[in-house]
DNA sequence: AGCACGCCGACT
DNA sequence: GTCGGCGTGCTC
């Protein structure tokens, strides 16, 4: 603390390393450097990164050589202290490093990493005699192109291991290396043109036109366009955006340059924002309905004691109106507001509506913006130019300082959870912590709340407000449950379609309305079976049946992706009598087209929409009504809102309800929402047809009565019965190993050991073995963690201890393991 | 995450 | 014999 003269800075690096590292703060930076600023540092042998200063102090680390900070990249901090606290919590709670959180938080343009450049040594005089073949290839390539990146060298050599060659070339003084930091944020500039003052009189203009007419007709056209533009468009001054003008005149840049060099046009370049500031600002005052007012008051009353309120509002009840009123209040208090939406929902009308109300106080942030645009939003939040941010889960990480309110709309939506790269976080839950850091309030809104949020509202952890009056007298869809057993008895089934379903489809099509059919299995048939010996082909890696995909004529494993061509004969007995059992979306699509040959039918599942674009295209085709019937898996239950859909069919409620995943039944309710009344579908009542082999399921009764709360209560009881946590978070440990049996055994062993430590918290190894990915078997052990972090800490500790022991016990050289959160 | 070092199997 | 695979450990 009272050490030497020198100053040091703890720097957080955007890497998966658990510590921050200490660098020497050079004297010339002492005055200007502050925590939260980015600095350029060398880390490791040569790599240069942009890290963030966490702390400045005078305590020299012991027993290490300390590298200096190379330069300061910012004049002002790019994050507040609040973000550091938030990052620490995320790293701890979701078991990852702070560097990984930082990596996820910062827009790409603020994250810098050096690239190695390879250049010829200035003393090298093209003496190739001593060089090996590979060395020669590189030296020759450098003679042609003076700077090569490591990537380019890999290409030249057709090999990924280039380091040995580079090392030997360095030794022989043939090449030198340079590390280059690439600044990725580029402010956007726009060039403006203006007619020079010399030509302000009509006279001069006319003689100029005469001159141009002969020699430069294109330039004349450009000039005329300019004159037309300045006369007709509503503009400020005579400066016109060059690109807009060129486009209008159908001219190219050289034509404009010509006019500039002849001093006919003046030019200027201005840094501009990437977002239009002429937003259609049109604040409309609206009154809340009596029911909405009650819900609003109830919410605020809850907030006096609790920081989170769950707003359960049926579709079409006007939850958004309540959000808007609350946002307005918080802005008036000078606070920032974060409004989180699930991924797909952002394309909807909500953005337009909020823009009208909040004008350029509103910032929108989601993955469709590029790195440059995101950086601009980041900076505007930092400078508090935005008071409201509407965005997806990643907008949680923007540099807020005085949040007053966080709204999480459609709080049950699974896209709030980041699955793949660390940090594996649940944005809804993390939002609650973020709000806690600034004593902000949280509003979770949903028409079909998640079981865990509902549980919290019952136990009193969250406040609860309700809105069950539909705005403008919109009607609930009618629900019809069709008994498939009876239909089969009466022989009124056409393949998998009951008579009422077909009739209703026909009726909807006649009225030019659209239909969504739901089947929670993809592929053609979930399995095939030998009629002679009863053999069912299974995945060689996973303990699951192979699904038959008719279009590709393949058998596929839906866990690991294994595929092989469809068997012609039974692998066990050689019989050719193979039976196709059950049905998936592909089969539904196939058979539907036989019943309705004239109708445009499309299928939406992972197989049919491999890319995000394909997904969007399908949605827009359905929206334009180029498709009449959409058959799909879970994918159709989320975030879609089609005005013209009047019928939803659930082909097999049995499969939905008996699915091992607890959330499947919840999907039925979300599907129902698809045909519930919304603003665009006034006075039209949708219909839901549910086919089921048994009409006795409790869920069906809840669905028929539109009783979401009753269903959630039953669901919570059911989960309790299965000892499945309704509200706690879950750690998912995945063991990966080359050998299937070792992997399964170790998982069992680990579960047993963990049970001894935290008996009630271990759900044991999950069956089946999930699959073989990258040659490693995959087995999960699920651990419930308490909501408090103490339990979590104990389990984390135990896992760390067990990890070493496990390697000895299992006798294999490496155990890969991943902690995931909340596998639901 | 990179990158180096070190240990093994299959080839110019 | 060495090239190149990957497992392991370190980076202020």
Residue A677: what pLDDT? 47
What is the residue-averaged pLDDT of chain A? 83
**Nucleic chain C: which protein residues 134-173 of A have CB below 7 A from it?**
159-161, 164
Give the tens place of pLDDT for each residue, A66-98: 999 998 989 999 999 999 999 999 988 888 899
Nucleotide nearest A65 (Cα, C1'): C12
Per-residue flag: A817 CB under 7 A of strand C: no
- Weakest-pLDDT range from A411-415, A468-472, A480-484: A468-472
Residue A470: what pLDDT? 78
d(CA A82, CA A360): 25
Contacts of A200 (CB under 8 A, 6+ apart): none
Residue A100: what pLDDT? 94
Residue A542: what pLDDT? 66
Distance A89 CA to C12 C1' (A): 24
Distance A803 CA to C9 C1' (A): 17
Per-residue flag: A44 CB under 7 A of strand B: yes
Range from A248-252, A472-476, A791-795 that averages highest in pLDDT: A248-252
**Nucleic chain C: which protein residues 67-86 of A have CB below 7 A from it?**
67
Beta-carbon count within 10 A of A594 CB: 9
Distance A163 CA to B8 C1' (A): 20
Which positions of chain B lie under 7 Å from any protein Cβ?
1-4
Give the tens place of pLDDT for each residue, A518-573: 998 899 988 899 999 988 998 776 667 889 998 889 998 887 677 889 999 998 89
Give the tens place of pLDDT for each residue, A744-797: 777 777 777 777 766 555 655 655 455 555 555 666 666 655 545 566 666 666
Residue A682: what pLDDT? 47
Inter-helix orientation angle A242-249/A217-232, to 10°: 110
Look at chain A and count its residues: 824
- Weakest-pLDDT range from A290-299, A413-422, A459-468, A528-537: A413-422
Residue A557: what pLDDT? 84
Give the tens place of pLDDT for each residue, A195-231: 888 787 788 888 888 888 888 888 888 888 888 877 7
Alpha-carbon distances of A621 from A433, A598, A602, rounded to whole Å:
40, 17, 10
Give the tens place of pLDDT for each residue, A286-333: 889 999 999 999 999 999 999 999 999 987 788 999 999 999 999 999
Residue A824: what pLDDT? 42
Return the CA Rg of chain A: 32
From the C1' of C10, which residue's alpha carbon is nearest? A44
From the C1' of C5, which residue's alpha carbon is nearest? A161
Distance A460 CA to B2 C1' (A): 49
pTM (predicted TM-score): 0.81
d(CA A601, CA A617): 14
pLDDT: which is higher, A739 or A464: A464
Per-residue flag: A20 CB under 7 A of strand C: no
Q: What percent of chain A has pLDDT over 70?
A: 82
For residues A573-595, average pLDDT: 91
**Residue A159 confidence (pLDDT) above 60:** yes
pLDDT band, residue A588 (cuts 50/70/90) = very high
Distance A813 CA to C7 C1' (A): 9
Per-residue flag: A111 CB under 7 A of strand B: no
**Nucleic chain B: which protein residues 46-105 of A have CB below 7 A from it?**
46-47
pLDDT band, residue A738 (cuts 50/70/90) = low
Per-residue flag: A45 CB under 7 A of strand B: yes
Which positions of chain C lie under 7 Å from any protein Cβ?
3-5, 7-8, 10-12
**Residue A660 confidence (pLDDT) above 70:** no
Per-residue flag: A113 CB under 7 A of strand B: yes
**Omega before residue A768 within 30° of 0, cis:** yes
Per-residue flag: A818 CB under 7 A of strand B: no
Residue A808: what pLDDT? 61
Q: What percent of chain A has pLDDT over 90?
A: 35
pLDDT band, residue A441 (cuts 50/70/90) = very high
Classified as helix, coil or strand, A235 is coil
**Residue A384 confidence (pLDDT) above 50:** yes
Nucleotide nearest A44 (Cα, C1'): C11
Residue A113: what pLDDT? 74
Distance A13 CA to C11 C1' (A): 11
Do the beta carbons of residue A11 and residue A20 sit within 8 Å? yes
pLDDT band, residue A5 (cuts 50/70/90) = confident
Distance A674 CA to C6 C1' (A): 51
Give the tens place of pLDDT for each residue, A370-382: 888 899 999 999 9
Do the beta carbons of residue A656 and residue A692 sit within 8 Å? no
Distance A18 CA to B8 C1' (A): 32
Per-residue flag: A163 CB under 7 A of strand B: yes
Contacts of A209 (CB under 8 A, 6+ apart): A220, A223, A224
For the CA atoms of A136, A137, A141, A142, what is the dihedral angle to 10 degrees? Answer: -40
Could you say which DSSP state residue A19 is in? S
For residues A479-487, average pLDDT: 92
**Looking at the DSSP assignment, which residues form a beta bridge with residue A270?**
A190
d(CA A679, CA A410): 17
Per-residue flag: A727 CB under 7 A of strand C: no
Distance A128 CA to C2 C1' (A): 23
For residues A267-287, average pLDDT: 74
pLDDT: which is higher, A622 or A737: A622
Residue A128: what pLDDT? 82
């Amino acid at each position: 603390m009272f050490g030497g003269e020198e100053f040091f800075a703890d720097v957080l690096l955007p890497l998966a390393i658990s510590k921050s590292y200490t660098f020497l703060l050079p004297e010339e930076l002492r005055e200007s450097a502050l925590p939260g600023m980015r600095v350029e540092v060398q880390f490791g042998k040569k790599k240069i990164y942009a890290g963030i200063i966490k702390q400045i102090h005078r305590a020299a680390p012991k027993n290490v050589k300390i590298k200096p900070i190379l330069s300061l990249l910012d004049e002002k901090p790019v994050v507040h202290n609040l973000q550091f606290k938030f990052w620490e919590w995320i790293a701890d709670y979701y078991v990852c490093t702070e560097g990984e959180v930082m990596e996820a938080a910062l827009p790409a343009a603020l994250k810098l990493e050096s690239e190695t450049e390879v250049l010829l040594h200035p003393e090298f005089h093209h003496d190739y005699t001593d060089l090996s073949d590979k060395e020669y290839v590189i030296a020759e390539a450098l003679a042609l192109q003076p700077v090569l990146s490591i990537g380019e060298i890999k290409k030249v050599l057709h090999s990924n291991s280039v380091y040995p060659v580079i090392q030997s070339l360095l030794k022989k003084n043939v090449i030198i290396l340079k590390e280059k930091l690439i600044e990725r944020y580029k402010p956007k500039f726009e060039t403006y043109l203006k007619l020079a003052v010399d030509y302000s009189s009509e006279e001069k203009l006319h003689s100029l036109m005469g001159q141009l007419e002969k020699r430069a007709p294109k330039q004349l056209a450009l000039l005329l366009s300019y004159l037309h533009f300045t006369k007709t468009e509503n503009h400020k001054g005579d400066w016109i955006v060059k690109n807009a003008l060129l486009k209008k005149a159908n001219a190219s840049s050289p034509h404009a340059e010509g006019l500039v060099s002849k001093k006919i046009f003046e030019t200027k370049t201005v840094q501009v924002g990437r977002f239009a500031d002429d937003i259609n600002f049109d604040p409309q005052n609206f009154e809340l309905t009596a029911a909405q007012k009650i819900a609003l008051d109830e919410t605020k009353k809850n907030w006096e004691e609790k920081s989170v309120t769950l707003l359960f509002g049926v579709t079409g009840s006007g939850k958004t109106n309540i959000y808007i009123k609350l946002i307005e209040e918080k802005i008036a208090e000078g606070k920032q507001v974060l409004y989180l939406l699930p991924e797909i929902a952002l394309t909807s009308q909500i953005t337009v509506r909020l823009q009208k109300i909040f004008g350029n106080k509103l910032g929108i942030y989601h993955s469709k913006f590029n790195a440059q645009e995101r950086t601009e939003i980041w900076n505007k939040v930092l400078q508090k130019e935005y008071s409201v941010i509407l965005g997806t889960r990643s907008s949680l990480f923007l540099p807020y300082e005085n949040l007053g309110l966080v709204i999480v709309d459609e709080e049950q939506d699974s896209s709030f959870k980041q699955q793949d790269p660390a940090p594996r976080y649940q944005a809804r839950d993390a939002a609650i912590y973020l709000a806690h850091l600034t004593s902000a309030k949280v509003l979770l809104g949903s028409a079909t709340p998640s079981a865990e949020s509902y549980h919290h509202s019952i136990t009193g952890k969250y406040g609860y407000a309700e809105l069950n009056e539909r705005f403008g007298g919109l009607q609930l869809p009618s629900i019809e449950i069709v008994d498939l057993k009876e239909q089969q008895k009466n022989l009124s089934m056409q393949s998998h379609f009951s008579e009422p379903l077909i009739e209703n489809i026909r009726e909807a099509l006649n009225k030019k309305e659209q239909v969504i059919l739901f089947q929670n299995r993809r592929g053609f048939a979930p399995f095939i079976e030998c009629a002679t010996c009863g053999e069912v082909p299974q995945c060689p890696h996973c303990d699951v049946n192979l699904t038959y995909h008719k279009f590709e004529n393949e058998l596929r494993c839906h866990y690991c992706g294994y595929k092989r061509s469809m068997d012609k004969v039974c692998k066990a007995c050689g019989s050719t009598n193979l039976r196709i059992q059950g049905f998936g979306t592909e089969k539904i699509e196939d058979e539907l087209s036989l019943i309705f040959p004239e109708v445009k039918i499309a299928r939406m599942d992972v197989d049919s929409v491999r890319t995000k674009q394909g997904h969007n295209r399908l949605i827009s085709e359905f929206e334009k009504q180029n498709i009449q019937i959409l058959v799909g898996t879970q994918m159709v239950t989320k975030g879609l809102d089609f005005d013209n859909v009047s019928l939803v069919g659930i082909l097999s409620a049995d499969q939905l309800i008996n699915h091992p995943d607890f959330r499947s039944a919840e999907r039925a309710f979300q599907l129902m929402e698809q045909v519930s009344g919304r603003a665009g579908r006034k006075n039209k009542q949708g219909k839901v047809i549910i086919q089921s082999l048994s009409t006795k399921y409790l869920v069906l009764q809840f669905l028929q009565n539109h009783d979401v709360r009753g269903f959630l209560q039953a669901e919570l009881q059911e989960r309790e019965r299965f000892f499945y946590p309704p509200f706690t978070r879950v750690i998912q440990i995945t063991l990966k190993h080359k050998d299937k049996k070792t992997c399964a055994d170790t998982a069992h062993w680990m579960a047993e050991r963990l049970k001894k430590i935290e008996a009630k918290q271990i759900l044991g190894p999950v069956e089946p073995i999930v699959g073989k990915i990258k040659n490693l078997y995959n087995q999960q052990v699920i651990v419930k963690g308490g909501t408090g972090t103490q339990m979590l800490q104990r389990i984390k500790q135990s896992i760390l201890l067990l990890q070493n022991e496990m390697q000895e016990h299992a006798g294999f050289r490496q155990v890969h393991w991943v902690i995931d959160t909340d596998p639901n």
